[in-house]
Structure 1
């Protein structure tokens, strides 16, 4: 069985990690950071996960990303597949997206791990 590693990160904390597929959620999906009640929360909080998942376009992107990952795992290489998901700070959109992607992959019979590179870093003032 192929291994899939999901890595969430924030562009404001450094370069994206090396990956087979990199998603940039910064410009097309609303940022929970702009809501004062969500700013200091993270994707570990249900309110953040719900806000991200209810963003128009996110459910379709989760499905499309899962399909793309399935295609990578069926390629001729038996190596692991790494997917990087980025947003501005790495605390909200990217982490919540990765958390939602993992069960979508499980529905396809793929076990994934998640690493949140920047989830626990301080909020970036913008």
Structure 2
């Protein structure tokens, strides 16, 4: 069975983007909770952050599209695991929130899913 590996990460973290079959960049088109002082030191482990990110116009359709792309990869003739990378600036807010929503959608579709929030516990980036 194909396993879907989802990694959330921060583009501006030292490690940069991980290797992946599909990589999604949330930096430009979706508002950053980091810019709100009351959210800066929170992460996607805080429900208010997740709610804020997932209420952003365009996020849910984007995640549904990513799930569709994963399904297309999985239906190919080679049975291989699929890696999806989702990045925002620091990897603490948008990327892990989207990664969790994507994981839930893919699990509901019957895929085995593993999620890694690579940068969620790194220090807050100063900008």
Q: Aligned partners of 1:93, 1:15: CA distance in 2, in Å? A: 16
Secondary structure of the corresponding residue to residue 12 of structure 1? coil
Please report how far the alpha carbon of residue 20 of structure 1 lies from its aligned counterpart in structure 2 after TM superposition: 0.3
- Structure 2: distance between partners of 1:108 and 1:53: 20
Matches within 5 A, 1:79-98: 79-98=80-99
Residue 26 of structure 1, CA deviation: 0.2
In 1: Cα distance, 2:87 partner to 2:111 partner: 21
How many residues are matched?
Answer: 126
- In the alignment, the residues of structure 2 paired with residue 85 and residue 19 of structure 1 have an alpha-carbon distance, to the nearest angstrom, of 10
* 3-state SS, counterpart of residue 97 of structure 1: helix
Matched, 1:122 2:123: yes
Query: Matched residue of 2:12: which SS?
Result: helix
2:32, 2:67 → 1: CA distance? 22
Deviation of 1:76 after TM superposition, in Å, equals 1.4
Determine the C-alpha separation between the residues in 1 that align with 2:68 and 2:109: 9
Report the TM-score, using the length of structure 1 for normalisation. Answer: 0.98
Gapped regions of structure 2 (runs ≥ 5): none
Q: Distance in 1 between matches of 2:80 and 2:112?
A: 14
Give the distance between the partners of 1:92 and 1:15, measured in 2 at CA: 16
Q: CA deviation at 1:83?
A: 0.2
Deviations for 1:21-52, whole angstroms, at most 9, x for unmatched residues? 00000000000000111110000000000000
For 1:10, the equivalent position in structure 2 comes to 10
- Runs of 4 or more consecutive aligned structure 1 residues displaced over 3 Å after TM superposition: none
In the TM superposition, residue 77 of structure 1 has moved relative to its aligned partner by 1.5
